[in-house]
C-alpha cells in the first residue's frame, strides 16, 4: 500500500501544540501497523495571514484537494481579533469547508469510563451518554450576506435551501440507523422561516426512514435538555450555528472541550477534514498544557472514515483510553503536559 497523504494544518495558538502530538501518535501507529503516512504541513489562519496576507493561501487549498485527508488544529487569536480587520483567521476555516464541500460535521460526545467525575454534572446523568451531533457546515447564517452599514447597523442573513437541509438530515438518518435509531432535529421553527423549511424537510426525510424515530426539538429547550437528560439522545442534527453552540455545550458532559473530536465530510471524493471542536485557546497557548486528546481522537476518526484503517483507529482509541488512566492534562484535573499526554498515548500504542 502506498503512503497515504495527510495534510497537517496546525494553525494558531494551541493548534500547533496539539497537532504535533497527533502526528506523534500517527507515527507510532504507522510503526505498529507497518504503514507509512506522507505528511504535508501547510499554513492556515492567523499564521497564514502573517506569512502571506491570506488566511487560506492557494497552495494550502491545492495541497488539501490532493490529499487523502486533512488534520487541522485550530485558528484564531487575539493578535488578529481587531473588529475592523478585513481578513480574519476564521475566514480561512470557513473557506476551506466551503471549497471542499464539507457540508456535514460529525461531533461525537461520549461518557468516558473513569472520567465521569470530570464533568460538573452528576455521575448518574453522564452515565450512558453516547450522542452524535451532525452539524450542517456550509450553509445557514455563516454563509449569508453579511453587511456592515456604517457604524450604526450591521446585518447577517440566514438562508437554507431544500437540498442543503435534505443531504445533511439524510446523513443523520443513515448514521442513526447504525446506532440507536433516533434522530433529534434541532430548529427554531416557531420563529424563523428558514427553520420552518428545516422542519418540513426533516419530516419528509424522516418519512423515508420508518425504522428511525424522529423528534423535533426547539433549540432553546434543547440547550436545557442536553444537560438535564443527555442520555436521551442519539443523533442530533442541527444547522450551522445551532450545531456550533450545542456541541460546545456537549463538552460539559465530558468535562472539557479538550476531549471532543470532529469529522467534516462532503460528497464522495472530497477529502475529509478532521479537527477538535475547540479553538486555539489563547489563554493557555504556548504553555504546553493543552489537552491533545481531542485532536488525537480526530485522527482516529480520520483513520476510520477517510483512510480505511478501522483497525488502527480502534487501536488509537484504546490507547487514548489507557493513557488517560496514567496521565491527564490540567483541564482534567491532572498535571501532565501536552507532550507528556502525547507520550502516554504513544507508550500505550507501542507498549
Ligand atoms: P476555545 O475553544 O479556544 O477555548 C475555550 C476554553 O476552553 C478556554 O478556556 C480554553 O483554554 C479551553 N480549551 C480549549 N481547548 C482546550 C484543550 N485542548 N485543552 C485544554 N483546554 C482547552 O474558544 P475561545 O476562547 O472562545 O476562542 C479562541 C479562539 O479560537 C478564537 O479566535 C476563535 O475564533 C477560535 N476558534 C477556532 C476554532 C477552530 O479553529 N475550529 C474553534 C473555536 C474557536
Ligand atoms: C468551530 C469554530 C468555528 C465555527 C469558527 C472558528 C469559525 O467555532 O469549528 O466550531 O464557528 O465553525
Ligand atoms: Mn465552535
| Mean predicted lDDT score pLDDT of the chain | 97
Every domain of the chain with CATH number 3.40.718.10 lies at: 1-105+257-351, 120-254
Decide whether any atom of ligand 1 lies within 6 Å of the 75 Cβ: yes
CA-76 nearest atom, ligand 2: 6
- Residue length of the chain: 351
Q: Quick check: 114 pLDDT over 90? A: no
In the predicted model, is pLDDT for residue 343 greater than 80?
Answer: yes
pLDDT of residue 351: 86
Strands 213-218 and 153-155: unpaired
Tens of pLDDT, residue by residue over 26-73, are: 999 999 999 999 999 999 999 999 999 999 999 999 999 999 999 999
Nearest ligand to residue 336 Cα = 1
Q: Best mutation site among 76, 140, 244 for ligand 2, i.e. most ligand atoms within 8 A of its Cβ?
A: 244
pLDDT tens-digit series, residues 227-239: 999 999 999 999 9
Q: How far is the CA of 36 from the centre of ligand 1 (A)?
A: 31
Residue 27 known to be catalytic: no
- In the predicted structure, residue 1 carries a pLDDT above the cut 70: no
- Say if ligand 2 is within 6 A of residue 244 CB: yes
Given a cut of 90, whether residue 297 has pLDDT beyond it is yes
**Active-site residue 244, yes or no?**
yes
Whether 116 shows a pLDDT value over 90: the answer reads no
Q: Is 109 in the pocket of ligand 1 (CB under 6 A)?
A: no
| Dist CA 187 CA 301 (whole Å) | 27
Residue 172 has pLDDT above 90, yes or no: yes
What kind of architecture, by CATH, is found in domain 120-254? 3-Layer(aba) Sandwich (3.40)
Write down the residue that cell numbers 483541564 correspond to: 331
- Give the pLDDT confidence score for residue 339 in this predicted structure: 98
Nearest CA to ligand 2 atom 6: 90
Question: Is CATH 3.40.718.10 what the domain over 1-105+257-351 is classified as, yes or no?
Answer: yes
- pLDDT at position 117 is 87
133's enclosing H/E stretch is: strand 130-136
Question: What's the CA gap between 61 and 250, in Å, rounded?
Answer: 31
Residue 214 has pLDDT above 80, yes or no: yes
Amino acid at each position: 500500500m502506498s503512503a497515504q497523504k495527510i495534510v497537517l494544518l496546525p494553525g494558531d495558538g494551541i493548534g500547533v501544540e496539539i497537532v504535533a502530538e497527533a502526528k506523534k501518535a500517527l507515527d507510532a501507529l504507522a510503526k505498529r501497523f507497518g504503514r507509512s503516512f506522507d505528511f504535508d504541513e501547510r499554513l492556515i489562519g492567523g499564521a497564514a495571514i502573517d506569512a502571506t496576507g491570506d488566511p487560506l493561501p492557494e497552495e494550502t487549498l491545492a495541497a488539501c484537494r490532493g490529499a487523502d485527508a486533512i488534520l487541522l488544529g485550530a485558528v484564531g487569536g487575539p493578535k488578529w481579533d481587531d473588529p475592523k480587520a478585513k481578513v480574519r483567521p476564521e475566514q480561512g476555516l470557513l473557506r476551506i469547508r466551503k471549497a471542499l464541500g464539507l457540508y456535514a460535521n460529525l461531533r461525537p460526545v461520549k461518557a468516558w469510563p473513569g472520567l465521569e467525575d470530570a464533568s460538573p454534572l452528576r455521575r448518574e446523568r453522564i452515565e450512558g451518554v453516547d450522542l452524535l451531533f451532525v452539524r450542517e457546515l456550509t450553509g445557514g447564517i455563516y454563509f449569508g450576506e453579511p453587511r456592515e452599514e456604517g457604524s450604526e447597523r450591521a446585518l447577517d442573513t440566514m438562508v437554507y435551501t431544500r437540498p442543503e437541509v435534505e443531504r445533511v438530515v439524510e446523513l443523520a438518518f443513515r448514521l442513526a440507523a447504525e446506532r440507536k435509531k433516533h434522530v433529534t432535529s434541532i430548529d427554531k421553527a416557531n420563529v424563523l422561516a428558514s427553520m420552518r423549511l428545516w422542519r418540513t424537510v426533516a419530516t419528509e426525510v424522516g418519512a423515508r426512514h420508518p425504522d428511525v424515530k424522529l423528534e423535533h426539538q426547539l433549540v432553546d429547550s434543547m440547550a436545557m435538555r442536553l444537560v438535564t437528560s443527555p442520555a436521551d439522545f442519539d443523533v442530533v442534527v442541527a444547522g450551522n450555528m445551532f450545531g456550533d453552540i450545542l456541541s460546545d455545550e456537549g463538552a460539559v458532559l465530558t468535562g472539557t472541550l479538550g476531549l471532543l473530536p470532529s469529522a467534516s465530510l462532503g460528497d464522495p471524493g472530497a477529502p475529509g477534514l478532521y479537527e477538535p471542536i475547540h479553538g486555539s485557546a489563547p489563554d493557555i497557548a504556548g504553555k504546553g498544557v493543552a489537552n491533545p486528546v481531542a485532536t488525537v481522537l480526530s485522527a482516529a476518526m480520520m483513520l476510520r472514515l477517510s483512510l480505511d484503517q478501522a483497525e488502527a483507529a480502534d487501536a488509537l482509541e484504546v490507547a487514548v483510553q489507557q493513557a488517560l488512566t496514567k496521565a491527564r492534562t490540567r483541564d482534567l484535573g491532572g498535571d501532565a503536559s501536552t507532550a507528556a499526554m502525547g507520550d502516554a498515548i504513544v507508550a500505550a500504542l507501542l507498549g
